[in-house]
Structure 1
Amino acid sequence: MTMHRFWLGVVALATTLAASPAMPGRWDLDYFPNTRLLDQQGRELRFVDDVLDGRIAVVNFFYLDCPDICGLATARLAKVHEWLEDRMEDEIVFISISLTPERDAPEELAAYAEAFGAGEGWYFLTGAPDDVALLRYKLGERSKRLSDHRSDILIGNAGTGEWRRTSLMGNLAAATADILALDPDWAPPRAPARVIDGRTLQSFAAQNRVGEGLFNKACAACHSIGAGVRVGPDLEGVTLRRDRDWLMRYIRSPDRMLAQGDPIAVKLDQAFPAVRMPRFGLSENDVADLIVYLHSETLRLEALPDETEAAGDMDRGASTDHDHDHELAGHVH
């Protein structure tokens, strides 16, 4: 599947979900109770004023004693958090709300958050049971039994009032795109427009593995794609969380961007001080090949369904009120 058709599929699926009666649609700030809550650090926060605070929000529900899917959902959310790390806290917040606030104290939430490597901008919240009950009801979590609680996530832009649901149990690249699409200024990665020998650059890279060769030669010593941090960051999802033009400039001239004080380049240099990103002298075509390879590897690792499966899912619509047993049977292999 080409990147162009992939993003058309994502947009079409998002349109289908947005039209579904089960989707929240538009919620202005006065819809939400400004509930008093405690985060994993024991800080008292107001849901609207302090937690949402006009940002893009990703909301899920869990409880510490959950024997089924909560841990898996949190682990997958942690991966999305890693992909979005450059936007966390200032632009995007993750909000995990305990369904058993009478049992889940802040210090226990802190240990849980640490176990999953939860970083900046991720709030694990508890509070008075009645306050949490009101908030979960308003956010659409109305299950009668803990084992039946929603396993999807609620995403929204507190500034624009746009809210919808997406799944953590499907393709994480698509879920990440759903979150980023709430930013009116975000655009999905675009397929390269150049043609080489009568073929698009994407097909050229796929057939000749130019990008893979460049990655193995120049990048693999310091970076992995989906295998975790090495000397430098894991590059799975980098084409989702970073603008393509920025990637083109940074891969070609990281030293120049650092000297110019580019905020992302500076942050990366501070996060990985042992080895500074070198300039390899790659051409524009080389870098484009490399970016195509990185993006195709993200899609491959996320097991993107083929077009017939995607079409079938769209025809069937999306059901979000699944219990744990259904999710485990349908998505965990």
Structure 2
Amino acid sequence: MPDARRSWWDQGKRIRSCLLGLVAASALSVVTTGAANAQWDGSYFPNVELVNQDGKSVRFWDDLLRDKIVVVNFVYIDCPDICGLATARMAQVVDWLSERIGKDIFFYSISLDPETDTPPRLKEFADAFEAPEGWMFLTGSRDNVDVVRFKMGERSESLAQHRTDMVIGNAATGEWRRASLMGSLVVLTEEILSLDPEWSRPRAEFATTQEALIIDNTRGEGLFFSGCAACHTIGEGIRVGPDLSGVTLRRDPAWLKEYLMAPDRMLARNDEVAVALDTAFPVVRMPNLQLNDTDVDDLIHYLSAQTDLLGQPQEVSGDDHAGPSHHDHDGHADGHGHATHSH
């Protein structure tokens, strides 16, 4: 696992306590269980041809689903808002599942704009998130993509209607569920693992770790981990977006607050720093997460507190090269590379 991403595994247990309040949001609704499972097989799912980021043709049922535990979501590479954040959060789950990815659990991100999202563009997008073998980005003809998304329950008619949910399932057992990437990633990861009949949840370790970490919780921490940590670190280096250590010291407070609240508006008016960040991190654009004054104040408080813990502010590699505060942590929602969302 690359050093820049290893920290996400180390932070996994901390996130468990930070996101307890979001557990309900990530609860999965069962699509099918029991005797009805028989219909959720090759007779239901289309076996149409898709093309992955390497230009290889694959069959949806035969090559991607049959006998596998899978996670399937739909994306727009040019989405200005939530798709980048959702993909970064998915990357965090991929990190946690580590060696199981490509072995018995497979991730598929399918473009909803196949005419624009060609294999080379998908390859660039996948590389930005350091997608390992076992996480495939797919496109295809409009007809084939449409039949796949319809069967998987994706019925949006425009980018604005697109949701961040996804489908997880075990094609061998016929168990399928819908899940959200915007809730607790710890709960989501465990739900994916639970699709394996042989997996069991380590309850004792969970309780012990959770009890120890709740004491450590600080103002703004939950917002950071739920909205920013998938793309940003604080003192661990660049991930999808800039390292945010010292950002509250390097950037003007008023600029930082405005950027966290409305990065899209600042970019639209050609704010020099916002443009520099967008140029420096072109893959994932920092989204407008509709944060309020309290949210932003809490995030800035957390960033400042973490910088204090690190000691003297570091010159974040890559952050300063953009001049701006680096997208900092607000990007959490998507970013351009600035990763917002990891925020």
**TM-score w.r.t. length of structure 1:** 0.54
| 1:33 is the counterpart of 2:46 | yes
Match of 1:76 among 89, 97, 108: 89
State, as a whole percentage, how many aligned pairs show the same letter: 50
**Residues 28 and 180 in structure 2, CA contact (< 8 A), matched pair in contact too:** no
Aligned pair in 2 of structure 1 residues 17, 171: CA closer, same or farther (>3 Å)?
A: closer
**Distance in 1 between residues matched to 2:127 and 2:133, nearest whole Å:** 11
**Residues 55 and 90 in structure 1, CA contact (< 8 A), matched pair in contact too:** no
**Distance in 2 between residues matched to 1:127 and 1:93, nearest whole Å:** 19
Unaligned runs of 5+ in 2: 1-16, 217-232, 238-332, 335-340
Larger RCO, structures 1/2 (Cα 8 Å, 6+ apart): 2
**Distance in 1 between residues matched to 2:211 and 2:159, nearest whole Å:** 51
Runs of 4 or more consecutive aligned structure 1 residues displaced over 3 Å after TM superposition: 12-19, 23-26, 200-209, 226-230
Unaligned runs of 5+ in 1: 1-5, 194-199, 210-225, 231-326
Match of 1:18 among 29, 32, 42: 29
Q: 1:285 maps to what in 2?
A: none
Aligned pair in 2 of structure 1 residues 140, 108: CA closer, same or farther (>3 Å)?
A: same
Aligned pair in 2 of structure 1 residues 228, 138: CA closer, same or farther (>3 Å)?
A: farther
**Distance in 2 between residues matched to 1:15 and 1:75, nearest whole Å:** 16
Match of 1:88 among 94, 101, 104: 101
**TM-score w.r.t. length of structure 2:** 0.52
- Give the root-mean-square deviation of aligned CA atoms: 3.8
Aligned pair in 2 of structure 1 residues 113, 204: CA closer, same or farther (>3 Å)?
A: closer
**Distance in 2 between residues matched to 1:18 and 1:208, nearest whole Å:** 32
Structure 2 counterpart of 1:135, which letter?
V
Match of 2:74 among 51, 61, 67: 61
Shift of 1:18: 3.5
Structure 1 counterpart of 2:153, which letter?
G
Aligned pair in 2 of structure 1 residues 13, 79: CA closer, same or farther (>3 Å)?
A: same
Structure 2 counterpart of 1:133, which letter?
D
Q: 2:171 maps to what in 1?
A: 158
Q: Deviations over 1:67-99 (max 9, x none)?
A: 110000000000101111210111011010000
1:169-248 matched pairs, under 5 angstroms:
169-191=182-204
**Distance in 1 between residues matched to 2:210 and 2:145, nearest whole Å:** 51
Q: 2:123 maps to what in 1?
A: 110
Structure 1 counterpart of 2:138, which letter?
L
**Residues 96 and 124 in structure 1, CA contact (< 8 A), matched pair in contact too:** yes
Q: Deviations over 1:29-80 (max 9, x none)?
A: 3210001010000000001111123111101100111111000000000010
Q: Secondary structure of the residue that 2:46 maps to in structure 1?
A: coil
Match of 2:149 among 136, 149, 160: 136
Q: Secondary structure of the residue that 1:110 maps to in structure 2?
A: helix
Match of 1:168 among 181, 186, 203: 181
Number of residues of Structure 1 aligned to a counterpart in Structure 2: 206
Aligned pair in 2 of structure 1 residues 206, 156: CA closer, same or farther (>3 Å)?
A: closer
Structure 2 counterpart of 1:18, which letter?
S
**Distance in 1 between residues matched to 2:215 and 2:81, nearest whole Å:** 43
